[in-house]
């Protein structure tokens, strides 16, 4: 993806949206409902088209070309489904879903959660490298399918979303003493002993739990929302989210000195600020989370960049993070009203755009710019509000 060469170009897609809304308004004024319905398409989203070209194969696989294994992760497939829905790109959505089911779920998503890791094996063949699912990908998959079913009136997607949601509850949660029902990163490997679990705060977008709680009568989703908010707040005592954190019964949260992360926040944690920044103003958790993570906004204002890694207790950082981190922070800095830091990050992205083959950075960019450019919002109940649907409703 080639990033625009000026601030004006960064948000050029806004001009397309204004033209689109004017066209829809003209149709309404003419009183021609049929003509208005014919305009119910998604406004142009050049960044999505570029992402598809760079990272998504013709058969629907999201490829991280920066890795030797040319890997695909379930998170990437789920993100791409979300982007396709925001873009009202039904053909791409269907291809991405089919590849996911055929290759990550053994051909049947009604029977199992998708494996998280697929790519080139040491013997040169291609296939699943790690069959353990990843709960963040599964939540986004459930969400994208459920909202696609609602927005496109596809009952099959709604039913599949419901099945995967139930399987997520059954396989990727546990009752942690003192914390309650909690989302685990995966079905296997994160219960480290009788009373210790490893958790990942970036797997917990509160808007998705709001949506799940509003769509289901199962009280477990509301329990997960409560524990997820506690994980986000209590694992970041100085306002810096960790990549990974341990929870021990009777003792609470503590640094995972022996595992991945080791008390640092970096490539996983950057998503915490992204999800928080995109919460709707009506969200019950928004004010608490924005206040809790304000130190990251202050850090960026002081240094001019987000850290690649930061010690969650001391605030010491190891240097600048990649430009994709700057992109991920745009919604967060915007709603924090930190205008100086926001403009600095825009300038940084223009000066040092993310590498063309950096799948993760480009995905962060697509989330952030799609939100900032108005291609989508989240409602109070977590439901998706894509710009194409708003246009159609007004038409």
Q: Residues 121, 187: contact at Cβ < 8 Å?
A: no
Query: Could you confirm whether 234 is annotated as catalytic?
Result: no
Q: Which residue, 230, 272, 276, 280, is CA-closest to 383? A: 280
Q: Residues 54, 1: contact at Cβ < 8 Å?
A: yes
Angle between helices 46-55 and 74-86 (to 10 degrees): 150
- CB count, 10 Å around CB of 67? 14
Query: Could you confirm whether 136 is annotated as catalytic?
Result: yes
Calpha distance 97→148 (Å, rounded): 12
Q: What is the sign, positive or negative, of the torsion defined by CA atoms of 348, 350, 351, 352?
A: positive
Q: Which residue, 239, 297, 306, is CA-closest to 270? A: 306
Q: Residues 111, 102: contact at Cβ < 8 Å?
A: no
Calpha distance 162→146 (Å, rounded): 8
Long-range contacts of the stretch 331-336 (C-beta < 8 A, 24+):
331/274, 331/277, 331/278, 331/368, 331/371, 331/372, 332/273, 332/274, 332/276, 332/277, 332/293, 332/296, 332/297, 333/277, 333/297, 333/300, 334/277, 334/372, 335/277, 335/290, 336/277, 336/290, 336/294, 336/297
Number of H helices, E strands in the chain: 18, 12
- Catalytic residue, candidates 75, 89, 243, 311: 75
- Strands 180-183 and 196-199, by their bridges, are unpaired
Calpha distance 345→323 (Å, rounded): 8
* Phi, psi values for residue 109, rounded to 5°: -75, -10
Calpha distance 158→240 (Å, rounded): 36
- Catalytic residue, candidates 101, 136, 138, 311: 136
Residues forming the active site:
75, 136
């Amino acid at each position: 993806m080639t990033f625009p060469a000026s601030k004006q170009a960064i948000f050029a897609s806004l001009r397309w949206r204004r033209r689109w809304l004017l066209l829809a308004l003209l149709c309404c004024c003419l009183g021609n409902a049929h003509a208005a319905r014919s305009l119910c398409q998604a406004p142009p989203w050049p960044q999505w088209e570029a992402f598809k070209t760079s990272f998504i194969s013709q058969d629907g696989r999201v490829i991280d070309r920066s890795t030797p294994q040319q890997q695909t992760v379930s998170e990437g497939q789920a993100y791409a489904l979300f982007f396709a829905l925001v873009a009202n790109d039904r053909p791409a959505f269907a291809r991405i879903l089919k590849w996911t089911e055929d290759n990550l779920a053994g051909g049947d998503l009604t029977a199992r959660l998708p494996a998280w890791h697929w790519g080139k094996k040491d013997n040169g063949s291609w296939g699943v490298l790690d069959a353990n699912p990843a709960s963040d990908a599964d939540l986004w998959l459930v969400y994208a399918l459920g909202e696609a079913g609602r927005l496109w009136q596809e009952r099959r997607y709604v039913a599949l979303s419901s099945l995967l949601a139930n399987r997520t509850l059954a396989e990727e949660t546990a009752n942690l003493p003192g914390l309650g029902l909690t989302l685990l990163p995966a079905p296997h490997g994160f219960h480290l002993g009788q009373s210790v679990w490893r958790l990942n705060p970036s797997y917990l977008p509160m808007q998705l739990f709001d949506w799940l709680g509003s769509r289901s009568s199962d009280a477990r989703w509301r329990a997960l929302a409560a524990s997820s908010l506690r994980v986000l707040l209590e694992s970041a005592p100085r306002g810096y989210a960790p990549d990974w954190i341990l929870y021990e019964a009777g003792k609470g949260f503590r640094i995972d000195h022996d595992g991945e992360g080791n008390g640092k926040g970096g490539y996983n944690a950057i998503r915490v600020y992204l999800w928080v920044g995109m919460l709707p103003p009506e969200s019950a958790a928004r004010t608490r989370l924005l206040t809790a993570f304000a130190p990251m906004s202050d850090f960026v204002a002081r240094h001019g960049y987000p850290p690649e890694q930061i010690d969650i207790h001391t605030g010491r950082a190891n240097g600048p993070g990649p430009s994709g981190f700057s992109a991920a922070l745009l919604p967060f800095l915007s709603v924090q009203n930190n205008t100086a830091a926001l403009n600095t990050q825009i300038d940084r992205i223009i000066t040092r755009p993310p590498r063309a083959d950096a799948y993760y950075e480009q995905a962060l960019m697509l989330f952030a710019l799609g939100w900032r450019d108005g291609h989508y919002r989240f409602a109070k109940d977590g439901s998706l509000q894509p710009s194409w649907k708003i246009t159609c409703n007004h038409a």
